[in-house]
Amino acid sequence: MTAIVTTPFRVVNAQNFKEDVASSSVYVAIGKSDVWSNSTSDTTDTTPFTPLDNIDNIAGAYQQMIGMKKVTAGEVSHIVPRHTWTSGRAYIGWDSDDATIYDKAFYIITSEFKVYKCIEAGAGASTVEPVHINTQPTAESDGYKWKYMYTVTVVAAEKFLTNSYMPVETLGYPTTATVNGATSSSTAVTLSAANGSIKTGQLITGAGISGSVTVSAISGTSLTLSSAQSLSDSGTLTFGRFATTDVNYANQTAQINSKAHANAGGIERIEVTAPGQDYSSAPTVTITGDGTGATATAVMAGSGSSQTVSSITVTNKGTDYNVVDITLSGGGGSLATARAVISPPNGHGTDPISELGAFFVAINTQLSGSEGGDLTVGQDFRQISLIKNPQNFASDVIASASTLRARRALLLDSGASLTGFAVDQILTGSTSGAKAYIVEIDTSNKVLYYYQNEKTGYANFVSGDTVAGTLPNGGSATLNTSDAFGTIANGYGSEVKRNSGQLIFLENRDPINRSSSQIEDIKLIVEF
């Protein structure tokens, strides 16, 4: 018995994940400030360990987390490997019979950020960069025929375009969203759920919308309108075309037109699989299949009674073909064979996500400074993870805050001196014997933030412990017995219930040092 997981299934999984991020609480988490090594005595990083997909490794990642930031719908995009058009490079024509087509350069992104599918490759390298936005595949003078798919917007390029990957844009319309809470002459609107299809510049219609109103900004469920409106609770808003003055209007129009004029199930080309022999004239090309209207003629090579079939010209693409047989008959010769290359069921340009095999998803989020104190600065991190539906500390409620502290805390006596303590020291409890890495020091509130891992062990500190740093001149202080572990009630400890939610992605990497004036631009690539 043999079986496969199909590309459409992989694409659907990617689509489901993207939609799930918009409807769930998914967080990017950072953690592990200690060096990559197997010993607490090491202070220099080794090569990052390869993450293991097992319970122990995942639990360890939870223990080392420092903080989390929620991913919004606009921070997720379908992506595909990037193939930048380069003069002198050969590209692959789309082929409905190629099982490895998605591993090949059958599409390009140009210097204008236009994306094209190669419908037919030229005889050699490509030398003419396509610039058209024609609704039909168009041949350039170098013999390459390109189908315009879409143009990557500036916003999408900034978030998701890398040297290795490019976003797949779908600027279609309309999409809808429900108002959560009435507004009175306000530009600020809260939606019932995030919708990643809503983009700035789109025109908005619906009950209560007066005049020409567009999307000024969108972040999660927070929508900003171009003008103040009074809207009813639970009212439905429809987000349609971009305004004609919007930078994306022309791109959206081109994509809509490309889709509208797609040739569903058309035969774009016919490949000669055997030239045959001894033809005195061109054989008749007969196209048999479940579609209609396709016609083609044979092009011959040679002369007299020694001609062969060199190529076949499609004179009418036809429509609605899914399966096709090509037969060559007559002409006095024999043995020539050919096969048809069929467009996707709905035609080229109707569904870029499926057509380009976008079973990759990118998440892009930015960490800015301390993010309100939830993300430690003056420290580094070596792990990045994705957590779905973590719960609030000491609760079964799924977290919804934009950022969360994930590190634990020790509250010291009010008279304790923090002199001598330093980040990355190992704390040791005199009574408990517990050990932990210091992540952050809050001198104002007498708090030591920490985490534990397999190098320190996971023993618990106890009330009244005297904790001491293990480095030379390390500090020493006694825990506050009334609130030894900095509970949420006092605003200190972790805001996340440990091990809650699902860790769905984990990356070990070289250290990234954080500062209060720095922004980390994190791009995660998930392949389905």
Q: Are residues 413 and 484 in the same domain?
A: yes
CATH number, domain containing residue 504 = 2.60.340.10
SS3 string, 148-196, reads: EEEECCHHHHHHHCCCCEEECCCCCCCEEEEECCCEEEEEEEEECCCCC
Any domain includes 441: yes
Q: Are residues 486 and 444 in the same domain?
A: yes
Provide CB contacts within 8 A for 98, sequence distance 6+. Answer: 104
Q: Are residues 327 and 396 in the same domain?
A: no
Residue pair 423/464 in contact by the 8 Å Cβ criterion? no
Between CA 271 and CA 339 the distance in angstroms is 5
33, 367, 368, 456, 508 from 522: Cα distances, Å: 17, 8, 11, 29, 13
Q: Are residues 435 and 290 in the same domain?
A: no
- Domain termination site, one of 313, 342, 371: 342
Q: Are residues 371 and 509 in the same domain?
A: yes
Q: Residue 217 CB: number of other CB atoms within 10 A?
A: 13
Which is nearest to 120 in space by CA: 317, 337, 328, 257? Answer: 317
Q: Are residues 433 and 481 in the same domain?
A: yes
Please report the beta strands in 32-132, taking only residues with DSSP state E, as ranges in sequence order. 65-70, 76-81, 107-109, 114-120
Any domain includes 215: yes
Q: Residue 232 CB: number of other CB atoms within 10 A?
A: 13
Any domain includes 180: yes
Q: Are residues 482 and 442 in the same domain?
A: yes
Residue span of the structural domain in which 183 resides: 175-247
Q: Are residues 400 and 457 in the same domain?
A: no
158, 213, 326 from 216: Cα distances, Å: 18, 9, 54
Flag whether pLDDT at 57 surpasses 60.
yes
Q: Are residues 478 and 414 in the same domain?
A: yes
Q: Are residues 201 and 300 in the same domain?
A: no
pLDDT at position 485, please? 65
Query: According to the per-residue pLDDT averaged within each range, which of 85-99, 182-196, 197-211, 402-416 is highest?
Result: 85-99
Any domain includes 471: yes
Any domain includes 447: yes
Q: How many residues belong to the chain?
A: 528
Total structural domains in the chain? 4
Any domain includes 90: no
Any domain includes 356: no
Residues 443-490 have pLDDT tens digits of 988 899 999 999 999 999 988 889 888 766 678 888 887 766 656 655
Predicted TM-score of the model (pTM): 0.85
Q: Are residues 482 and 523 in the same domain?
A: no
Any domain includes 104: no
Confidence of residue 261 (pLDDT cuts 50, 70, 90): confident
313, 383, 450, 508 from 49: Cα distances, Å: 56, 10, 22, 7
Q: Are residues 212 and 273 in the same domain?
A: no
CATH number, domain containing residue 227 = 2.40.30
